[in-house]
Amino acid sequence: MKKAVIFDLDGVITDTARYHYLAWKRLAEGEGVHFDEAANEHLKGIDRMGSLDLILASSPRSYTADEKLALATQKNEHYKELIATMSPADLLPGAVQALIDCRAAGLRIGLASVSRNAFTVLASLGITDKFDYVVDAATIAQGKPDPEIFLAAATALGVAPEDCFGVEDAVAGVASIKSAGMYAVGVGDPQVLRQADVVIPSLAQFRLADYLAA
């Protein structure tokens, strides 16, 4: 039986993807780089600097490390302005009930988001107390699909990786879960999240009993 569950944040519990998209789009266009919804799909599950590198790969010029850092900071400041108005109304369907069900089952609950604004978002959503441990993305050296962030969550929760299952909406995130040796619940399109052990449309279809003994 599984002893812990580790959730991703964006696209699973809440949808800040639109805010990320708008912030990245403004930055990209400011640098003369075309950026649309299709390009944004490639950034899912990728950390800030990794996402910036993908965007700037289409730029006609090169950038120093300091210039990249300044651009990443610029994007983040705009993103924080956009998420400042978030509230519990921005929780995705089924999210709170999934957390309640996991707690009732005695599971340890972790959050493994590459967003450095995860703590701010959780506070705005009013669910910080639903988690036993939230990974600080600033302490993670390797972003998803590397398993580091999920392994860090398992370690902090005091549970072996094989006794955890992860919940993710991104290809890179699912790969991270599987590389960590965990059961993977994908949220989204089964044709996209092929590496997941099971895929559900949203947390409204979260069936804890199906995952505990998987």
On whether the CB atoms of residues 187 and 208 are closer than 8 A, the answer is no
d(CA 152, CA 164): 12
Report mean pLDDT in 10-residue bins for the chain, 214 residues: 96 90 95 93 84 94 96 94 91 98 98 92 95 96 95 98 97 96 97 97 97 91
pLDDT recorded at residue 8: 97
Cβ contacts of residue 107 below 8 Å, gap of 6+? Answer: 2, 3, 4, 5
pLDDT recorded at residue 163: 98
pLDDT recorded at residue 83: 87
Active-site residue 169, yes or no? no
Q: Which domains does the chain have, with CATH numbers?
A: 4-14+88-212 (3.40.50.1000), 17-83 (1.10.150.240)
Dihedral (CA of 53, 202, 139, 181) sign: negative
Q: Which of 10, 129, 163, 210 is catalytic?
A: 10
In angstroms, how far is CA 173 from the centroid of its own chain? 7
Q: Which of 8, 15, 47, 210 is catalytic?
A: 8
Cβ contacts of residue 135 below 8 Å, gap of 6+? Answer: 110, 111, 112, 113, 118, 149, 152, 153, 156
pLDDT recorded at residue 214: 85
pLDDT recorded at residue 14: 96
Q: How far is CA 206 from CA 1, 16, 101, in A?
A: 17, 20, 9
pLDDT recorded at residue 32: 94
Question: Is residue 27 within a helix (H) or strand (E), and if so which, with residue range?
Answer: helix 17-30
Active-site residue 10, yes or no? yes
